[in-house]
Chain A
């Protein structure tokens, strides 16, 4: 399914440390290796505070990793500076979770969606009207919305404007940080339909952060599960409910409520909460909440091991590359 020639961005051993009080260190991302393919969606799942947003922010230069490199078309983008950085920013754009706080409330929609284009001198100010109309129609909004302010629109409409703004520069990669979690289910569905349609038409790569596995599996080509700064499982999005095998991914799956589930079944949530990222236990990060915790889990940290070409898991249960 994934052709190595289609690989456009690769994160290699990305680590981010933040200094903390008392000379300690907080490791938000620990040795992350992920690959993004042309026109495919990578869903990144995990609980809050597991470092998924921290990682995605590296891609749009909102932050820099402490170690490791991110290769985009053969170049390490974490080392870019000045003019080259400015030029490269066009290729990777971002959609934020809360569209009402990611817009300037005093700007009209026309100025919001055209700002990136003006910034890169791709259009003349006189072309603003026509461009705004074209962009709004692309995200299925009436062109007249160009005259509105963000507060005159509903949450779903604002999120569409945010998508239009991110797509204005025709980037190769879009990062979406929980782009649908502030929306109602019916609106969420239409936004997902829009995103997938645009992805097909323009062959865009999407990095999607989400904590709802039910949602993320419905449109991701590959899914990475993150826990306490570590990637614990990378798997294909199709049939993920059947193939996932890390105890944490399974726990996340069990925690999904949907309308077709068996209601008489008692839910068995995993106990407790993730430990503070300041004192991650030695060994497997998931050990204290894992039912299958063994002696080795307390001593040695499991590495990502390939079960199949597209499926990797970091768990001692599968250390020999076979299913238990």
Chain B
């Protein structure tokens, strides 16, 4: 059975239909990459899965089903239990999602204590351990730091550590590597692949980088102007697709030893 099913969903902000007729299924331990140009509605889709549409956005048609239950009818309390426990999200800049005036530890402890009855000390230890599992040396020091004291790559790892604390079944990643250097990007990509291999986490990855999308994704979905333009398995999308838009995007990716302009 598919873990997540998005069935013919329309999403509107006010009277504007931003995403139209979007369908997608995701199985256990599967990675699906959503690619597209800016403004194509890719982030809107994954925000809808978590019920986090900004500025009065609403799912106006269709259904989103997670493990056999519709997410659209969730009460506030049900959302609170689900978010960060069964479904987690990693943002483009994880530092920006945290309160800048509080240490990482304080935010982390608060998050852990929402989901589990632990003392502050136990929660702190759990957080520090989680950071170290995500290859952040000296978890205790990082727990005592403020977000702005860490580099972009470290902040992103803190975001992944937080998201992975309860080993969610589904991880939503919104441009997790776009703000990072290539070397750090490679580290984060590798770490996300390991999450899938070790914990069986399913991942939806939203990115505009077709290289990363095809390295990570079992499936690739191409979006354009709020509609799904093309979708399929990676090999199909890279080598067999007939869709002209997909081909145009693929052709635009600079590759090593590929086309030279001079």
Contacts and interface: CB of A to CB of B under 8 A. Distances in A.
B219 to A, nearest CB: 13
Interface of B: 37-38, 151-154, 181-187, 189-190, 208-212, 214-215, 234, 238, 248-262
B253 A185 contact: yes
A271 B215 CA distance: 20
A255 B185 contact: yes
B183 A255 contact: yes
Given A219-B262, A256-B182, A261 B252 contact: no
Contact of A255 (B182, B252, B261): B182
B211 A41 contact: no
A269 B194 CA distance: 13
A259 B260 contact: no
Given A193-B261, A213-B182, A267-B186, A253 B256 contact: yes
A185 B246 CA distance: 12
B189 A47 contact: no
Nearest to B187: A269
Interface in A178-236: 184-189, 192-193, 196, 199, 211-215, 217-221
A258 B256 contact: yes
Contacts of A81: none
A214 B255 contact: yes
A184 B208 contact: yes
Contact of A219 (B186, B190, B260): B260
Contacts of A185: 208-210, 249, 252-253
A186 B261 contact: no
Interface of A: 41, 47-48, 155, 184-189, 192-193, 196, 199, 211-215, 217-221, 237-239, 241, 251-261, 263, 266-267, 269-271, 273
Given A185-B210, A263-B214, A273-B153, A255 B186 contact: yes
Contacts of A193: 261
B262 A257 contact: no
A169 B46 CA distance: 46
Instruction: Determine chain A's interface SS by DSSP, over half rule.
Output: loop
A181 B3 CA distance: 35
A263 B234 contact: yes
Nearest to A193: B261
Contacts of A196: 261-262
A259 B214 CA distance: 6
Contact of B253 (A155, A213, A258): A258
B248 to A, nearest CB: 6
B151 A273 contact: yes
B258 A212 contact: no
B256 A241 contact: yes
B132 to A, nearest CB: 15
Nearest to B248: A186
Instruction: Determine chain B's interface SS by DSSP, over half rule.
Output: helix
B153 A254 contact: no
Contacts of B153: 273
Nearest to A181: B178
Given A263-B234, A270-B183, 17 more contacts: A48-B181, A184-B37, A185-B208, A196-B261, A217-B254, A218-B261, A219-B262, A253-B256, A258-B255, A259-B211, A259-B238, A259-B253, A261-B211, A263-B214, A269-B187, A271-B187, A273-B184
Shortest Cβ-Cβ A-B pairs, 5 listed: A257-B211, A269-B186, A258-B255, A189-B252, A255-B186
A237 to B, nearest CB: 8
Contact of B154 (A184, A212, A273): A273
A218 B182 contact: no
23 contacts: A48-B181, A185-B209, A186-B37, A186-B249, A187-B37, A189-B251, A192-B261, A196-B261, A213-B182, A214-B255, A219-B261, A219-B262, A238-B260, A251-B183, A254-B186, A255-B183, A256-B256, A258-B254, A258-B258, A263-B214, A263-B215, A267-B215, A273-B151
Given A211-B182, A258-B211, A184 B38 contact: yes
Contacts of B258: 214, 218, 258, 260
Contacts of A155: 38
Contacts of B181: 47-48, 211
B250 A259 contact: yes
Contacts of A259: 210-211, 214, 238, 250, 253, 255
Nearest to B256: A241
Contacts of A263: 214-215, 234
B224 to A, nearest CB: 11
B183 A47 contact: yes
Given A221-B262, A267-B190, A186 B256 contact: no
A257 B249 contact: no
B146 to A, nearest CB: 17
Contacts of B186: 254-255, 257, 267, 269
A230 B178 CA distance: 26
Contacts of A251: 183
Nearest to B36: A184
A269 B182 CA distance: 9
